[in-house]
Amino acid sequence: MGPGGACWRGGGGVLGGFKRWLSSQALAPRVCVVGSGPAGFYTAQHILKHHDLARVDIYEKLPVPFGLVRFGVAPDHPEVKSYGAEDNRVLGIPGENLSGVYSARAFVGWYNGLPENRDLKPDLNCETALILGHGNVALDVARILLSPLDLLRKTDITDSSLAALACSKVKRVWLVGRRGPLQVAFTIKELREMINLPGTRPVLDPADFTGLGNAVKDAPRPRRRLTELMIKTALEKPEEKMLVARVATAQAAPAREWGLRFQRSPREVLPTADGTRARGVRVALTRLEGSGDSAKAIPTGEVEELECGLVLSSIGYRSLPLDPAVPFDPQRGVIPNSLGRVEGAPGLYCSGWVKRGPTGVIITTMNDSFDTAQSVLEDLQAGVLDVSTSKEGSGAVGSILRSRGVRPVSFSDWEKIDAAEVARGKAAGKPREKIVDPEEMLRLIGH
């Protein structure tokens, strides 16, 4: 985004006297932000905070704002919802288009009420699910699949998803990764919550952690604590954990379980006899070359088959090209940029995962968004951006939309949708009941 541009985000303080300099100049830059997720809002916030005359217009393709703060991660984690890429990475293996195979991104969108995923209807009529990936999203999906319904009913999970999960036969979830315990991408908070999930037991093989206690002694504290928790869980006797769970509940439910499988790389989704559905995944066993986060998984030549009826791919997200006029690196899935400044496009900035790739959580997004905003402010101070002529901003855009017969949804319109969702949720004992059909949203506000 930027005067005459669109896209961004970052983190950083303002130089001494910078805000006073901007305030004293007769500058009134019009800034256009495309996308109302965390990246867009944090960038807008930083510019407005440090430039008294700036006007910022935020545009969003959906009738509701806040992007994937609303639609991301998991309904029982409202404080950390954040992912912002338009597409998911494909596995690139035979069988990934079989029935029963889904991207974690689509599955997350389904239970969070993202309109484009509202008709996913995942088939949960199997006992074993396989999640490919060892990140926080993978743990989120596993937790939703195994969570007691009483816990989910208190969240803003969609009613249709809750109904489907109530009928789910899934009671076993394996999370499979190409590398080892020292390379997992999830964080200790999510792991601890999964370990303590009522009515479930973790299944971790002690052999996977042999010698790791010494290996992580000099590792950064978060990695050391995370590894130590996995080791402790692996060594804990399963019977003891289930005994505690049974004592805590008046009547023990059928045991559910989940586990981590390491050094296994997917090679093929195996079809059922009739060739229509997934029945398992063939994986290549790997060995690690190198250490730490840079370790690479090298196939050993050995393979094994893991049986399952549900496969969820959680190997990362990708941004998509915005427009032919905006530079894009298809290999990295980002807009080429320097500190948020789009290469070869003065006045155009980028923020969010389209800027740096699909990594980090909401605090990362906030800091990165401030960085991009800082680049805009510095360019204004240096006179790089021409704001000498007045731009109409949202007024001009509104005229164009009206000429095309498009009635945009205003923030006050959103507040009506918000009030309706909260009222429906209150009736059901939930924070809100999301409306998942954009047409219903528009009817609600009289469009």
Find the mean pLDDT for residues 116-138: 94
Nearest 5°: the CA angle 113, 135, 370 is 75
Q: Which residues contact 22 (CB under 8 A, 6 or more apart)?
A: 50, 51, 52, 53, 377, 380, 381
How much is the pLDDT for 254? 52
**What is residue 111's predicted lDDT score, i.e. its pLDDT?**
94
Contact 181, 126 (CB under 8 A): no
Rg of the chain (C-alpha set): 24
Tell me the pLDDT tens digit for each residue of 155-198.
Answer: 989 999 999 999 999 999 999 999 999 999 999 999 999 999 99
Summarize the confidence of residues 114-128 as an average pLDDT.
Answer: 93
Say whether 90-315 and 18-67+328-403 share the same fold. no
pLDDT at 76: 60
DSSP element (H, E) containing 107: helix 104-112
Kindly report the CATH number that applies to the domain delimited by 18-67+328-403: 3.40.50.720
* Record: fold of 90-315: FAD/NAD(P)-binding domain (3.50.50)
Per residue in 387-404, pLDDT tens? 877 678 888 898 999 999
By CB atoms closer than 10 A (0-12, 13-18, 19+), residue 6 is buried
**Strand 296-307 to 278-289 pairing:** antiparallel
Q: Are strands 101-103 and 310-313 parallel, antiparallel or unpaired?
A: parallel
pLDDT digits (tens, 9 = 90+) for 353-373: 889 887 767 778 888 999 999
Q: Could you give the percent of the chain with pLDDT greater than 90?
A: 59
Q: Could you tell me the end-to-end alpha-carbon distance of the chain, in angstroms, rounded to an integer?
A: 28
Query: Which pairs count as long-range contacts for 217-221, CB under 8 Å and 24+ apart, including other chains?
Result: 219/182, 219/292
Q: Which two tokens stand for residue 84?
A: 């912002």
Q: Are 350 and 121 spatial neighbours (Cβ–Cβ below 8 Å)?
A: no
Q: How many helices (H) and strands (E) does the chain have?
A: 16, 15
Mean pLDDT of the chain: 85
Question: Residue 304 pairs with which residues in a beta bridge?
Answer: 283
User: Looking at the whole model, is its pTM more than 0.95?
Assistant: no
The domain limits of the chain are: 18-67+328-403, 90-315, 411-444
Helical H segments across 36-90, by residue range: 38-50, 67-71
Element of type H or E holding 418? helix 411-427
